[in-house]
A and B are shown apart, each in its own frame.
Chain A
């Protein structure tokens, strides 16, 4: 399987692009380019991780912020007591526990229960953290003093992107990936084929959540000050959702096609129309639902399918 994976030209193209992206901090000196690059990479990993679970299962997850914030806040709490990789390990452990709680309680039920639960999850975690800080540590907000430069953040995010793409490709080729595709098409059929649908969904949700948490952890040193309202910012979930949808959650590289235009658009909108951001976000949502329900990747493959069909018909006549 690995051998056939390495023969695909797309794999080499992606690897080449990632290497080129890795060289970017040396090529440009501008602080702005680097921070924009960090922004793009952050959403790239989040959207790819989102689609990893929601693409095949078709469950709309709004838990992104909860996991992202969990990672960021773990860094804020342990930044002075643990080494960097220790912090990341703690963040991953917490992510697995939270994802298991959410997954095991909702994923054996219908999609609606899952959506509702994740809809409020970030707010729940934010309130719990705030409560803990107010009552136990008696101070809200923490400072993050870590010797991590923006370049290092950039490379860590890039490494995460490579990793999430690799994991995604491996899952797609595996038994788990096949099981998930069947579940997405028809869960009843999947169950009748003898698949443990809940276990497959929970497993994938945990993997996806782990990546989201790691992004939060890696991003934390960028802020020097973190409080629950900063870490658990609810718009992150919606932005990631809309990016993945625009790109197309059905394809591994699809979300990236949504991240690149939308990070640019959101950057522009929040700079030029800060007060109208929510309205424009809503309009973008509606436009995608009505005009591009399958995302860019789905639209392209549909076009390609039609084109191939046309070519065949021409060849016949």
Chain B
């Protein structure tokens, strides 16, 4: 009983973490932008869903259907308008990294500030499918289950696109050797913008899913960004499958820590794993060492 309960809780939490981190690993792996405003867009999507559900009476799945294209367009624009000048200006990858970190800090505070002005600092949630469903004899909240299944579908869809389609091949080529991508007819800027937008779609979709079962607040994004970053490093930068596994691992560790030690120590558990990865396998659990 306890085992099933723990496994279900780990999978639902870890699946969402993986989805959030997947967007980030695409943005960092392909577009080479360390997007520290990632979590803010997730929380923003949560608020959008809240507004659609409570004011317009829309179904949360409509919010999800809206969040995916909206997230793509929004982040595509962010890359084209705000980040392209930095990419053009950068003399070295290190300079671009520093610039993009600072610019995305700016975006972080602007999005967070707008949300604070619109909604204040309190916690929000809405009621959706909160009845329990029986999974192998254990009651699980239906919204949580739906969110996990949707996260899994989205994650697998992205993986399929990357592994099977031409677009996916181009994206992987960019992640592997950005300096040679243009030699095989890939437009690096367009592809980077596309990857950035895809990351935006994933994170805003994840935001709607999170809002279905977790109370959220305007200042919560940073913690999610932090966890997503740890997952990206653990999975190996740009590695989508590694990201999925690392996300599930992090979900399991957090669930176990909250259940057997103390819910207040989840961050310490995340950092504990991060520290181990840094000391033992800095290229990531599933990454290969760069020559």
In the assembled complex, which residues on chain A have CB atoms less than 8 Å from the CB atom of B274? 116-117
Q: Is B129 an interface residue (CB 8 A)?
A: no
Assuming the contacts A120-B271, A281-B113, A289-B86, asked whether A134 and B98 have C-beta atoms less than 8 A apart, the reply is no
Partner of A289, one of B106, B110, B117: B106
CB neighbours (8 Å) of A58 from chain B are 94, 98
B220 to chain A, nearest CB (A): 12
A29 located at the interface, meaning its Cβ lies under 8 Å from any Cβ of chain B in the complex: no
Q: Are A234 and B222 touching (Cβ within 8 A)?
A: yes
Is the pair A290, B85 in contact by a Cβ cutoff of 8 Å?
yes
CA–CA, A278 and B118, complex, Å: 13
How far in angstroms is the closest Cβ of chain A from B276?
A: 10
- Within B228-274, the residues touching A (CB, 8 Å) are 229-230, 233, 262, 264-265, 267-268, 270-271, 274
Q: Is the CB of B262 within 8 A of A135?
A: yes
Contact B223 A123 (CB under 8 A): yes
Which A residues are in CB contact (< 8 Å) with B99? 289, 293
- Residues from chain A with a CB closer than 8 A to the CB of B222 are 119, 123, 234
Partner of A115, one of B101, B230, B262: B101
Knowing A105-B275, A117-B278, the reply to whether A281 touches B109 (Cβ < 8 A) is: yes
Q: Chain B: interface residue count, which band?
A: 35 or more
* Given A117-B274, A279-B114, A293-B99, A127 and B109 contact (CB-CB distance below 8 Å): no
Residues from chain B with Cβ under 8 Å of A275 in the complex: 116-117
A54: nearest residue on chain B (CB-CB)? B98
Chain B proximity mask over A204-239: 1 for CB below 8 Å, otherwise 0: 000000000000000000000000000000100010
Find out whether the CB atom of B106 lies under 8 angstroms from the CB atom of A131.
no
Measured CA separation A206–B267 after assembly (Å): 24
B108 within 8 A of A: yes
Please state if B102 and A245 are interface contacts (CB–CB under 8 Å): yes
Alpha-carbon separation in the docked complex, A276 to B120 (Å): 11
B278: contacting residue among A113, A280, A288, CB under 8 A? A113
A131 touches B116 (CB 8 A): no
A31 and B265 CA atoms in complex are apart in Å by 41
Cα distance A106–B107 in the bound complex, in angstroms: 26
Given A109-B282, A275-B116, A293-B99: A282 and B107 interface contact (C-beta under 8 Å) = yes
B105 at the interface (CB under 8 A from A): yes
In the bound complex, CA of A135 to CA of B34 (Å)? 37
B51 to chain A, nearest CB (A): 19
Assembly CA distance A204 to B99 (angstroms):
23
Inter-chain contacts of A111 with B (CB < 8 A): 94, 97-98
Minimum CB–CB distance from A302 to chain B (whole Å) comes to 15
Q: A279 near B233 (CB under 8 angstroms)?
A: no
For residue B144, give the distance in angstroms from its CB to the closest CB of chain A.
24
B279 at the A/B interface (Cβ < 8 Å)?
A: yes
* Nearest-Cβ distance from residue A133 to partner chain B, whole angstroms: 10
Say yes or no for B173: interface residue by CB 8 A criterion: no
Separation of A113 and B97 alpha carbons in the complex (Å): 12
Judged by a CB distance under 8 angstroms, whether A112 is at the interface is yes
* Interchain CB contact (< 8 A) of A119 among B85, B107, B229, B265: B229
Q: How many whole Å from B279's CB to the nearest CB in chain A?
A: 6
Cβ of B70 within 8 Å of any chain A Cβ, yes or no, is no
CB distance from B236 to the nearest CB of A (A): 13
Docked Cα-Cα span, A280 to B106, in Å, equals 9
Establish whether residues B278 and A279, one from each chain, have CB atoms under 8 Å apart when the complex forms. no
Q: Are B103 and A286 in contact (CB under 8 A)?
A: yes
Q: Which residue of B lies closest to A235 (CB)?
A: B109
- Please tell me if the beta carbons of A278 and B278 are within 8 angstroms of each other in the complex: no
- CA A279 to CA B108, docked complex, whole Å: 9
Q: B138 CB to closest chain A CB, in angstroms?
A: 28
Are B113 and A282 in contact, with the CB atoms below 8 A? yes
What would 15 A/B residue contacts be, using CB atoms closer than 8 Å? A113-B233, A115-B34, A116-B226, A116-B274, A120-B230, A120-B267, A120-B270, A127-B267, A234-B222, A276-B113, A278-B113, A279-B110, A282-B113, A285-B102, A286-B110
Given contacts A58-B98, A284-B106, A286-B103, 16 further A-B contacts (CB under 8 A): A58-B94, A60-B98, A105-B275, A113-B233, A116-B274, A117-B274, A119-B36, A120-B230, A127-B267, A130-B264, A131-B265, A277-B113, A282-B105, A282-B106, A285-B103, A289-B102
- B residues neighboring A (CB under 8 Å): 34, 36, 82, 85-86, 89, 94, 97-99, 101-103, 105-114, 116-117, 222-223, 225-226, 229-230, 233, 262, 264-265, 267-268, 270-271, 274-275, 278-279, 282
Q: Which residues of A contact B (CB under 8 A)?
A: 58, 60, 105-106, 109, 111-113, 115-117, 119-120, 123-124, 127-128, 130-131, 134-135, 234, 238, 241, 245, 275-286, 288-290, 293
